[in-house]
């Protein structure tokens, strides 16, 4: 009886090892045909979210405006998320993070704090025209805030 070629044995082994990977979900668990619910046992049902729970980059905070003249940056978040200031007010930005950030209006001509280095403080002048101005950090686009200018 002829012996199978070593290359054929290696190929067969590779196919056998990769086929199970194609039939399972993440982390080696069996793939689920219904992503909303699976039966873990006759008494219990496991529900799996059908959409991501993390906010998208376009999602903006909806908090009510907080009066003041200071924005604190900590853990890659602006606080308050929605600051209300008077037209032309000087706004102080305190960066408590270990990296540089900015407070830059989406229409950059409205205002821009410039780069505020790690653990440093900077300022910018609020627009003189009342309105709602969305801003971001130019280095970390997931950071969003709102500056509300009102008399």
Q: How many CB atoms lie within 10 A of CB 135?
A: 25
Q: Given pLDDT bands bounded at 50, 70 and 90, which one contains residue 11? A: low
Tens digits of per-residue pLDDT, 66-106?
Answer: 888 999 999 999 999 999 999 999 999 999 999 999 999 99
Whether omega before 151 lies within 30 degrees of 0, making that bond cis, reads no
pLDDT band at 21 (very low <50, low <70, confident <90, very high): very low
Cα–Cα dist 145/31, whole Å = 40
Asked whether the predicted pLDDT for residue 24 surpasses 60, the reply is no
Which domains can be identified in the chain, with CATH numbers? 6-47 (no CATH), 66-149 (2.60.40.420)
């Amino acid at each position: 009886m002829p012996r199978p070629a070593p290359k054929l044995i290696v190929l067969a082994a590779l196919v056998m090892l990769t086929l199970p990977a194609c039939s399972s979900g993440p982390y080696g668990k069996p793939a689920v045909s219904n992503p909303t619910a699976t039966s873990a046992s006759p008494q219990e049902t496991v529900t799996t979210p059908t959409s991501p729970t993390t906010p998208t980059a376009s999602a903006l905070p909806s908090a009510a405006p907080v009066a003041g003249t200071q924005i604190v940056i900590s853990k890659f978040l602006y606080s308050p998320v929605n600051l209300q200031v008077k037209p032309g007010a000087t706004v102080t930005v305190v960066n408590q993070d270990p990296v540089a950030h900015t407070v830059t209006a989406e229409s950059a001509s409205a205002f821009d704090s410039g780069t505020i280095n790690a653990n440093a403080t900077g300022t910018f002048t609020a627009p003189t025209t009342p309105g709602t101005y969305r801003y971001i950090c130019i280095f970390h686009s997931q950071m969003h805030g709102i500056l509300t200018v009102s008399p």
